[in-house]
Structure 1
Amino acid sequence: MSDSPLKGRTVVVTGAARGTGAALAKALADRGARPALLDHDEPALRAVAATMPGAALALQVDITDATALDEAGEEIRRRLGPPSVVVADAAVAEVGPFALSDPATWRRVIEVNLIGSAHTARTFLPDLIRTAGYHLQIASLASIGAAPMMSAYCASKSGVEAFTHTLRAELAHHGVAVGIAYLSWTDTDMIRDADRNTALRELRAHMPPPARRVHPADAVAARLVHAVERRRTAVHTPAWLRLAQVGRAAIPPVVLRRTRHVLPGLEAAESLHPTGLLGAGGHADRAAAPPP
């Protein structure tokens, strides 16, 4: 699209090897942006980059490694120019009861989703200030209403929500816009893997119909690109998540009422067990992450 404000701009997307990150990176490239794709999984990342119109820079990096992320930032500036848009999408998840969770895996979810997002912002803030740019943090329905069996993921996504609000207030006078995207269930390999877990599948089945629907990644990415082009403060996909924001104080008691009737049966059937990090992205993270 020749009239897109993204044309010719350097855009960084973390978690770009698959799922929402890959779909968003492609959509940004279609708008004429110069994408820099960051992820742990180098083969998958390069496969995504090969589908882009024009040149895309693919860099393997662990976003929890601040030094490696700074080095990636230097290469992006050298090869593509300073980024004016940064999308912090990288995330991992595990399903299972907190009491049975592996502490190292639980901590890894927090490190990738929350600490990694903070490292990403810290690395590229000088560029965004220089360009009066835009930072988009990918959050979740889990930021609005925590769900059982996903304690680390919900804690991390609540954390990035608070971090984003803080960052926005600190950077507004520099002309930097900071947005947050609240996503519901999206058709990614992480969600498909989670759906193979009996407990989470049962819990999702007891959610209201709009809340349990899974949305195509391309459709989610299209909405996110629209938000990036307009430097939105917040984007909700699907749109009904705005209503969840209004009634978010009522969500915990509703969740409690529903799950207290479901979990006892799952416990009796011995269906509650930790999954480890989900999906191909989780597998790649386990293979590449440093030992705890």
Structure 2
Amino acid sequence: MDSLAGKVVLITGAARGIGEEVARRLHRRGARLVLVDLDEVPLNALAAELGDRVATAVADVTDLRSMDAAVATGVDAFGGLDVVVANAGICSYGSVLAVDPAAFRRVIDVNLVGAFHTVRAALPSIIDSRGYVLVVSSAAAYAPAPGMAAYDASKAGVEHLANALRLEVAHRGVDVGSAHMAWIDTPLVREAKADLESFRTMLGSLPGPLSRTTSVQECGKRFEKGIAKRSRHIDVPGWVAWLRRLRPILQSRLGERDTRRTAAVLVPQGDAEVEALGRSVSARTRALGDGHTAG
């Protein structure tokens, strides 16, 4: 029997990108879904397309009461939760010197505090079912990128949230994993490419596979497999696992050498582009009131 059939899975940032793809894949496996997002129109469109075995909640992960209500929606609909995927995430533009402080704070609130709220709200039900928690971090937790300090910091924090949680709930039969992706063809990455020439140049300057963008479909396939196995780590692409092993070298003077050279040119360029844009987030994120979207 399929290990996901009949399982109740709550996914934040479910309306687009990775969250949407994972929802489609798990639904095909027979899972029952609780889809959570701030953007109501695409959320409802996805739910209508999937049909049965789907409940939705329009919620902001930065508000714990909102997430408590989202979890209650799932519990009321299906009796409890077996899996929670804390996936909602945004990014900001600009260096520490140039980024809008409000945008920096919002990234931390959505990506890190939002993951905490998601897990906190879902955990009692997950403990009851001896279930699985997946917290979506990033390869940025291992190899930070200049000009993305808020995103880097939030994803490093999310990794350690998962690490600490794993130790806290292992004796309760709950497994905890963290997902770490390089560049995925999500709205978040596409919008950054469209807004910032410096971002496109930075991607092009990376060596070999580090510069390539992985499809959302391939990412979703790895998530599907990892969730079914209750994996400790989900790495997309697979070579991201080596970044975890090589982290001490990547964060040494030697490992930072080439990035420092590139940053000397691209950080000032990026800051100038952000100033010209007049915003430190994508237009879509700003239109949502700096709300969350799938990362």
Give yes or no for TM over 0.5: yes
Distance of aligned partners of 1:176 and 1:163 in 2 relative to their CA distance in 1, 3 Å threshold: same
Please list, as runs of the form range in 1=range in 2, the aligned pairs for 1:15-30 lying within 5 A after superposition. 15-30=13-28
Residue 162 of structure 1 corresponds to 160
Contact 2:106 2:290 in 1 (8 A): no
Give, in whole Å, the separation in 1 of the partners of 2:6 and 2:101: 44
2:257 maps to 257
Match of 1:179 among 172, 177, 180: 177
* Deviation, structure 1 residue 59: 1.1
**Where does 1:1-292 land on structure 2 (aligned, <5 Å)?**
3-196=1-194, 197-252=196-251, 253=253, 256-266=256-266, 267=268, 271-273=272-274, 275-278=279-282, 280=284, 282-286=285-289
The answer to whether the 8 Å contact 1:141/1:184 transfers is: yes
For the 8 Å contact 1:114–1:159, the answer to whether it is kept is yes
Structure 1 distance, partners of 2:273, 2:49, is 40
Q: Tell me the TM-score normalized by structure 1.
A: 0.92
Distance in 2 between residues matched to 1:249 and 1:186, nearest whole Å: 24
Letter paired with 1:286: G
What secondary structure, in the 3-state scheme, does the structure 1 residue paired with 2:201 have?
helix
- 1:271 and 1:54, CA in 2 relative to 1: closer, same or farther beyond 3 A? same
1: CA distance, partners of 2:5 / 2:110: 30
Partner SS state of residue 59, structure 1: strand
Provide the rounded CA distance (Å) in 2 between the counterparts of 1:270 and 1:141. Answer: 23
| Cα displacement string for residues 197-238 of structure 1 (whole angstroms, at most 9, x for unaligned residues) | 122222222211211110111111111111111111111111
Paired residue type of 2:241 = R
Alpha carbons of structure 1 residues 141 and 288: separation in structure 2 relative to 1, 3 Å: closer
Partners of 1:287 and 1:136 in 2: how far apart?
24
- How far apart in 2 are the matches of 1:133 and 1:270? 44
**Cα distance, 1:263 vs. partner?**
3.6
Alpha-carbon deviations, 1:103-151, whole Å to 9, x = none?
Answer: 1110000000000000011001111110000000111010111110000
Deviation string 1:54-98 (CA, Å, 9 cap, x unpaired) is 231121100111111111211211112201000000000012111
2:289 alignment partner AA:
R
What is the TM-score of this pair, normalised by structure 2? 0.91
Q: Distance in 1 between the 2:57 and 2:208 partners?
A: 39
Gaps of 5+ in 1: none
Structure 2 gap segments, 5+ residues each: none
* Secondary structure of the corresponding residue to residue 23 of structure 1: helix
Distance 1:269 1:276, change over 3 A: closer
Q: How much does 1:35 deviate? A: 0.5
Corresponding letter in the other structure for 1:98 = V
SS of residue matched to 2:82? strand
Q: Distance in 1 between matches of 2:191 and 2:110?
A: 19
AA aligned to 1:244 is: L
